[in-house]
Amino acid sequence: MRQIQKAAVLGSGVMGSGIAAHLANIGIPTLLLDIVPRELIQEEKDKGLTLEDKKVRNRISEEALQKLLKQKPAPLTSKNNLSLIEPGNLEDDLSRLKEADWIIEVVVENLAVKKQLFESVDKHRKQGSIVSSNTSGISVEAMSEGRSEDFRKHFLGTHFFNPPRYLKLLEIIPTKDTDQEVLSFMMEFGENRLGKGVVEAKDTPNFIGNRIGTYGLLITVREMLKGSYSIGEVDSITGPLIGRPKSATFRTLDVVGLDTFIHVANNVYDQVEETEKDVFKVPDFMVKMRENGWLGSKSGQGFFLKQ
Ligand code: NAD
């Protein structure tokens, strides 16, 4: 009988830390691994510490991850739960993946980065463990190309919505190689242990939620530009006035992260027919904001946030 006694979350950004917090809150010990953030490496260098020293690298990573964990929009309910999350380094701690019954990849929305990570996961996981991706819409099948048979049988998409602790929807996306046992287990586990509303989605660009969500959001922005409305007016109309106090258009983008949103929109843009491309083209002002690093909550500057 399959059980998830321990999980590993790869990537501790907006979603990874939230998913790890959710797992800890339901009592599942979780490894939370990430690469070492550059600014911390610089800080340590400034202090004259050498990065070749493995102990130093691990310490940086641990401090960084603890910091990230505390900042997230999904705070843990108690210190006990926090102790169920063990932070670590994606470079040094991959061999610990064999401890996990479920490995969830939550790194940046980029096929090449994800594929490279899955190659390492394939080498270090234990046979039979479930591996999933939290991608917003990259082809799940494409991510598993080149992987071992056991990996492919146990691989699927598990797409949480932001913030993962509060939003109920969980899309589950099998590939043609996913074992029926793995799919059935995840559907049941998602519903009964994770407490989500689970939907099985096809492996089409951006699946269901984000295909509709990206479409709606970009149409709204286009209408705003055409009608010369302000960002405040749009958020008022698409938020409080229709009974969605927190999830209006631009406030949602601040929470999601503009870099992630643009990756997601470009992913559909690249894959839809010419006739649909206009809708999924990200407006220039958003691209400029991303270039300036105005990404929303994660960078401290966005549509409603000012550094
Ligand atoms: P994020 O930018 O907040 O975090 C990404 C993390 O990946 C960072 O901590 C980064 O250090 C890490 N990472 C690990 N290895 C990396 C590498 N080799 N190169 C670059 N970064 C690396 O992103 P996020 O918003 O948490 O998104 C993560 C995944 O979840 C993406 O696939 C995204 O599409 C998906 N997702 C995001 C949202 C959202 O609202 N933000 C919602 C659902 C799904």
Q: Is residue 298 part of a domain?
A: no
What gap in Å lies between CA 236 and CA 256, rounded to an integer?
18
- State whether the beta carbon of 20 lies less than 6 angstroms from ligand 1: no
For residues 167 and 73, the answer to whether their CB atoms sit within 8 Å is: no
Q: Is 248 helix (H, G, I), strand (E, B) or coil?
A: coil
Residue 255 alpha carbon, nearest atom of ligand 1 = 40
Q: Any bridge partners for residue 33, and if so which?
A: 10, 88
ipTM of this complex prediction, to 2 decimal places: 0.98
Indicate whether 75 and 141 sit together in one domain. yes
Distance of CA 107 from the midpoint of ligand 1 (Å) = 4
Q: Looking at residue 129, which CATH number applies to its domain?
A: 3.40.50.720
Tokens encoding 242: 């229709």
Distance of CA 218 from the midpoint of ligand 1 (Å) = 21
Asked if pLDDT for residue 179 goes beyond 50, the answer is: yes
Helices 38-46 and 54-71: crossing angle in degrees, nearest 10, is 130
Tens-digit pLDDT profile for residues 76-87: 455 567 778 888
Distance of CA 275 from the midpoint of ligand 1 (Å) = 30
At residue 66, the pLDDT reads 58
Closest CA relative to residue 225, chosen from 295, 286, 275, 304: 286
Residue minimizing CA distance to atom 40 of ligand 1: 256
Q: Any bridge partners for residue 89, and if so which?
A: 34
Indicate whether 233 and 188 sit together in one domain. no
- State whether the beta carbon of 69 lies less than 6 angstroms from ligand 1: no
| Average pLDDT score over residue span 29-57 | 64
At residue 247, the pLDDT reads 73
Residue 68 alpha carbon, nearest atom of ligand 1 = 9
pTM above 0.80, yes or no: yes
Q: Is residue 159 part of a domain?
A: yes
At residue 26, the pLDDT reads 87
Q: Is residue 29 part of a domain?
A: yes
What gap in Å lies between CA 207 and CA 194, rounded to an integer?
20
Distance of CA 217 from the midpoint of ligand 1 (Å) = 20
3-state class percentages of the chain: helix first, strand second, coil last, to nearest 5: 50, 15, 40
Residue minimizing CA distance to atom 20 of ligand 1: 108
Indicate whether 150 and 281 sit together in one domain. no
Tokens encoding 231: 């960002």
Q: Is residue 307 part of a domain?
A: no
Query: Helix (H) and strand (E) counts for the chain?
Result: 14, 8
The residue range of the domain holding 213 is: 209-291
Residue minimizing CA distance to atom 43 of ligand 1: 161
Task: Fill in the DSSP letter of residue 97.
Answer: G
pLDDT band at 156 (very low <50, low <70, confident <90, very high): very high
Tens-digit pLDDT profile for residues 257-300: 999 999 999 999 998 899 989 999 999 999 999 999 999 988 88
Tokens encoding 42: 């610089």
Q: Is 56 helix (H, G, I), strand (E, B) or coil?
A: helix
- State whether the beta carbon of 137 lies less than 6 angstroms from ligand 1: no
Residue minimizing CA distance to atom 29 of ligand 1: 106
Distance of CA 267 from the midpoint of ligand 1 (Å) = 15
What's the CA angle centered on 168, arms 104 and 130, to 5 degrees? Answer: 20
Q: Is residue 183 part of a domain?
A: yes
Give the chain's domain count. Answer: 2
